[in-house]
Structure 1
């Protein structure tokens, strides 16, 4: 598996992969968040869009890291890294892709000398929560929040000063 920045020619496919991975958690194609998930080009412009590929170049997953100043940051302080929209292609789930993308996001934050990495997640994303816990993240309920009524997000953090 290789993790690298997404190529311009892959942005539509990355958007489709993200929508497919999040399908169990949205209210169908008309859910406003689906458009947000599909807009990989905007994530690539305003943050850092990473992809995991297999040896043949097939897209397996994606994650967006959010540098300081990015409008994609939601909960991070300036000395914290943040990542969003971790998505693994449905046919690649359970193969370590999510773990590799989270580890990569942590490495990005370490290179930036952040003291921690934070993220938000839907309460129902149990498989993702297991990945975060394996990667050393802990729940931070004091940071839980709701971007919209009825959309309650839980948060996780991992200290990097270890």
Structure 2
């Protein structure tokens, strides 16, 4: 099996893998008590999400091992995107293969895509305040904290922190 990681647009055959990986990653992080939480149920509806937002997957050896959703300001899936930003959300890597380079490969693909979009001068994201491995990745890749843009998830004790990378 090749160790090379391919980042590509998601196709319908990927949706069940994306849903499983997303649940596994969020549950592993301890953010939700069960996969039945309303937000968890929403993000498992990958086909619905794919109708309104680009989704990329990381694949290694023909197996989907990660995914990420993209948005620009005004899109249904945009939480924080400003007019000049490409936002990415729900970047997840299967917990069984985390630290394999899949997260970094997806972020590099996002940065390349952002550079190709007219009017986009930055990449922005939110991540959990306690997701230290994700935050280390964003720090290493040159993203800067935008603490003035941090925000709480309504109805939870989750604080999301914002990062931005100028292109």
The aligned residue for residue 134 of structure 1 is 140
Structure 2 Cα separation of the partners of residues 130 and 42 of structure 1: 31
Match of 1:76 in 2: 81
Give yes or no for the alignment of 1:9 onto 2:16. no
SS in 1 for 2:43: helix
Q: Is structure 2 residue 35 aligned with structure 1 residue 29?
A: yes
Please list, as runs of the form range in 1=range in 2, the aligned pairs for 1:5-154 lying within 5 A after superposition.
5-23=9-27, 24=29, 25-55=31-61, 57-113=62-118, 114-149=120-155, 150-154=157-161
Q: Supply the distance in 1 between the matched residues of 2:148 and 2:41 (Cα, whole angstroms).
A: 29
The one of 138, 147, 165 aligned to 1:158: 165
Over 2 Å off, 4+ runs: none
CA distance in 1: counterparts of 2:45 and 2:137, whole angstroms: 25
Structure 2 residues not aligned, in runs of 5+: none
Shift of 1:68: 4.2
TM-score normalised to structure 1 length: 0.92
Cα RMSD between the aligned structures?
Answer: 1.3
Q: Which runs of 5+ in 1 are unaligned?
A: none
Query: Normalising by the residue count of structure 2, what TM-score does the alignment of the two structures yield?
Result: 0.89
CA distance in 1: counterparts of 2:95 and 2:153, whole angstroms? 26
